[in-house]
Structure 1
Amino acid sequence: MVIRAGVLSDTHLIRPDSRFKTQVAACFATCDMIIHAGDLTDLSVLEVFAGRPVYAVHGNMCHASVRDRYPHQLQFSIGSFVIGLTHGAGLGYDIEAALWDLFPEVDCMIYGHTHRPLCRRVGRILLLNPGSFQATGRYGAPGSYAILEAGDTLQARLFDVPQL
């Protein structure tokens, strides 16, 4: 059995608007769970994922209610794989280097903060940054997200958020 997790970060919304709800429905319709790597800003953003397990951490732009409810870092399992999750703010200039100290015994390290999507392996470890779900950049670069699949192996792919 393959477990599919929708991975997003840096939504930066005060409340979910209709466009966000439509994009979430399109991007994560086939996902069993959701992983949010921080900067969701407000708890109401997670309401669109009701009915599915959500693993989340707070980021540097989150309201106090989010910081009180969600940790700075989290470790959990999907199937037989151990996942380390953090936003990345406060880890210094080289976030990837700091991840190794935070999560020395994981199969996958997920982070956000940089707004730059990344999916690559370092040895057996999968590094995943879904980028910013909201469109960013002065030229309107599309937002991005990832789908993480855990079955016999652990794999991830990056996608552009559809501009619906």
Structure 2
Amino acid sequence: MKLLIISDTHGSHINVDKVLEKEEGMDLLIHLGDVEKGEDAIRYSVNCPAHFVRGNNDFFSDLPREKELFLEGWHLFLCHGHAYYVSVGEEQLKREARGRGADIVLYGHTHRPVIHREENLLILNPGSLTHPRQEGRRPSYMILVLEEGKEPEAWIKYL
């Protein structure tokens, strides 16, 4: 199963459209918050199911704050991250993910891409397609491939 993971688009769909043109064969799209009322446009643009969570800038949104998905034998915990203070560290987020029994935690908010694994937890952040903050400030997203019985594979990709 091939997942496209994006976050922090902040109402701009120019780079979302570029990613959708570039990436083919997606089975699922995950948006990790700060959509800013763009979820309907994104849902309309993709040819696969899409899951969204609410970010700190998704005012008056009825999107869920968090989600848990079970895909290909893996337990994923999705959130924007701001409620777990990810801007100052991942400790609270990791504690919550482990408490839920998650194998993979996906978050946004920091606008900086992250892939790392520790103590049976894969931690992923696709960065931002609209306002990147990492060195070089290139818009980023992530591809995650899940297959039952195999270790997940994740890649940070840039526009």
Distance across 1 between alignment mates of 2:79 and 2:68: 9
Partner of 2:90: 96
Are positions 1:158 and 2:156 aligned together? yes
Give the equivalent residue in structure 2 for 1:23. 19
Query: 1:11–1:29: structure 2 CA closer, same or farther, 3 Å change rule?
Result: same
SS in 2 for 1:59: coil
Equivalent of 2:104 in 102, 108, 131: 108
The structure-2 alpha-carbon separation of the partners of 1:140 and 1:95, relative to structure 1 and needing over 3 Å to count, comes to closer
1:82 is aligned to 2:75 = yes
1:134 correspondence with 2:127 = no
- Give the deviation of 1:140 after TM superposition: 7.2
Change (3 A) 1:160 1:50: closer
Taking the aligned partners of 1:41 and 1:126, their CA distance within structure 2 comes to 27
Q: Which residue of 1 aligns with 2:55?
A: 59
Structure 1 counterpart of 2:91, one-letter code: A
The change in CA–CA distance for 1:45 and 1:97 in structure 2 (over 3 A counts) is farther
The offset of 1:50, in angstroms, is 3.8
| Identity fraction in percent | 27
Count of paired positions: 153
Rounded Cα–Cα distance in structure 1 between residues aligned with 2:41 and 2:81: 20
CA RMSD, 1 decimal: 2.2
Find the aligned partners of 2:81 and 2:41 in 1 and give their Cα distance: 20
Q: CA deviation at 1:55?
A: 1.6
**Secondary structure, aligned partner of 2:68:** strand
Are the counterparts in 1 of residues 31 and 53 from structure 2 also a CA contact under 8 Å? Answer: yes
State the distance in 2 between where 1:148 and 1:103 align.
18
**Cα offset for 1:49?**
4.1
Q: 1:141 to 1:74 in 2, by over 3 A?
A: same
| Aligned residue in 2 for 1:10 | 8
Unaligned segments of structure 1, at least 5 residues = none
User: What is the CA distance between 1:133 and its match in structure 2?
Assistant: 1.3
Q: Which runs of 5+ in 2 are unaligned?
A: none
